[in-house]
Amino acid sequence: MKVLVMGATGYVGGRLVPRLVEGGHEVRCLSRRPAKVRDVPWADSVEVLAGDALQRESLDPAMEGVDVVFYLVHSIGSGAHFEESDRRAARNTADAAGAAGVQRIIYLGGLVPTGEAASAHLASRAEVGQIFLDGTVPAVVLQAGIIIGSGSASFEMLRYLTERLPVMVTPKWVRSLVQPIAVRDVLTYLVGSVDLPPGTNRRFDISGPDIVSYREMMQRYAAVAGLAPRVIVPVPVLSPWLSSQWVNVVTPVPKAIAQPLIGSLRNNSVAHEHDIEALIPFALCPLDEAVRLALESIRRGRVVTRWSGAQWPGAPSDPMPTDPSWSGGTVYRDERSAPIDADVDVADVWRAVEGIGGDRGWYSFPLAWAIRGLMDRLAGGVGLRRGRRDPNRLEIGDAVDFWRVEAIERPRRLRLRAEMKLPGDAWLEFTIADDGGRPTLEQRAFFIPRGLPGHLYWWSISPFHNVVFGSMIRNIAAGAEASASPGAGADRAGR
């Protein structure tokens, strides 16, 4: 069967695609930036087309000849008006699927509470599901609560709060009930939905076997992780808004994502029916086992996808710092180079470059980077706590602390785009040249200011560039040379 996956570069989509390929399906992926799919292990097994759910005309080529559409797109984190973006993207998709003669749309949404007002986030997910159910193409709308898996936003919030706060003063939402589901079970339901009876057009609740409060879930996480029981004191005065500020500081999930998620915690998230269990029967993963599997993946550095890798609909696709269209504007640059010992090959230098960020740090003044990350979090940015999906290998679209991989040409070039709060746009690029058999590491920082604040920002930090950028390139070069020595490790530099 020919399937189209919309949202293939997201947390669930990036895990679903290889499952579909293994199941013998012909898979097409739609992405605003097809280059993001270039480095994933399954890239050669799928067809990738450029398109945007918010651009109706871009969907027609993607839908051509397709039997089933997986819709895994949502706009949480994209701004205050994410509901409108979700609505428009869903309508565009339903219209295009109907025009192309698609047989089924499969959508993954959230568990919708009954008898209580849904949060803005859950209400939007429910509205998207209804748009598909009201369309001309039959839709299977799967409604899930918290997804437990390495790299999911909900799981990382749970993990960081539980591990970092042995004593918590929490809002009353810790008493809300939730029925979490393992990510592998979500994938099984998604794949199985392809073979549901023709014409099926309805919602299905999907959930794991355990119903717990958020408080109990944190305690059970602590037990699986080998932590002492947490002291959790619920109080009625902490609002969801205050909770999101707290989550923004303690966890790697930024306020733009934490706020709508926290707003949903006041709702009970429990399945109201289990009809799909008879249609797609298998043994569901218990909560404790799901947590154990997630932690094992994290500890082994095998996080396949992360919430931070998603690209929100409507996010800008801005030009790159080498575009000729910028020749007439102001582009500030800091450019440096460092020759490497002749007995060090390009692969050694590349390992040091590709391993930057996350637990290894930024090869210069860890305290200064930590302060910059904290300032960014307090300003509503992503900060440094996003870390990396994989400690050694990067792919286009990966988040690296408050940067994102924009270009990678292994083993010669890596370009990172800043996602911190800035009065302009910034990039950091590393290039490895090999002239005459001796590698040279070239490091370039670009900044395009927005208005007077942007110019003032650049000139205010310029005095620190020799310290930060100068030590960075020296320590990367030293790390590469150390890695070429017997028994040495590339992550020594800057530690």
Q: How far apart are CA 201 and CA 191, in angstroms?
A: 16
Tell me the domain boundaries of the chain.
2-309, 324-492
Stretch 54-58: mean pLDDT, rounded? Answer: 93
Domain 2-309 superfamily per CATH: NAD(P)-binding Rossmann-like Domain (3.40.50.720)
- pLDDT category of residue 323 using cuts at 50, 70 and 90: very low
Task: Give the helix/strand (H/E) hosting 115.
Answer: none
Burial call 17-31: b when 16+ CB within 10 Å, e when fewer = bbbbeeeebbbbbbb
- pLDDT category of residue 38 using cuts at 50, 70 and 90: confident
- pLDDT category of residue 308 using cuts at 50, 70 and 90: low
pLDDT per residue as tens digits for the range 120-135: 778 888 999 999 999 9
Cis ω for the linkage preceding 316 (within 30 of 0): no
Q: How large a percentage of the chain has pLDDT more than 90?
A: 47
Map residue 334 onto helix, strand or coil.
strand
Residue 66: Cβ-neighbour burial (10 angstroms; 0-12, 13-18, 19+):
buried
Identify the pLDDT of residue 239.
Answer: 60
Say which CATH topology domain 324-492 has: Alpha-D-Glucose-1,6-Bisphosphate; Chain A, domain 4 (3.30.530)
Identify the pLDDT of residue 495.
Answer: 37
> pLDDT: is 22 or 325 the higher one?
22
Stretch 312-322: mean pLDDT, rounded? Answer: 45
Q: How far apart are CA 375 and CA 325, in angstroms?
A: 32
Q: How far apart are CA 495 and CA 490, in angstroms?
A: 11
Q: How large a percentage of the chain has pLDDT more than 70?
A: 85
- pLDDT category of residue 258 using cuts at 50, 70 and 90: low
Q: How far apart are CA 475 and CA 480, in angstroms?
A: 8
Map residue 264 onto helix, strand or coil.
helix
Stretch 307-324: mean pLDDT, rounded? Answer: 48
Task: Indicate the pairing of strand 26-31 with strand 47-50.
Answer: parallel
In sequence order, the 6+-apart residues with CB closer than 8 A to the CB of 143 are: 109, 110, 111, 112, 125, 129, 203, 204, 205, 206, 271
Q: How far apart are CA 392 and CA 359, in angstroms?
A: 11
100 residue type, one letter: A
Six token digits for residue 151: 């790299």
Identify the pLDDT of residue 130.
Answer: 96
- pLDDT category of residue 324 using cuts at 50, 70 and 90: very low
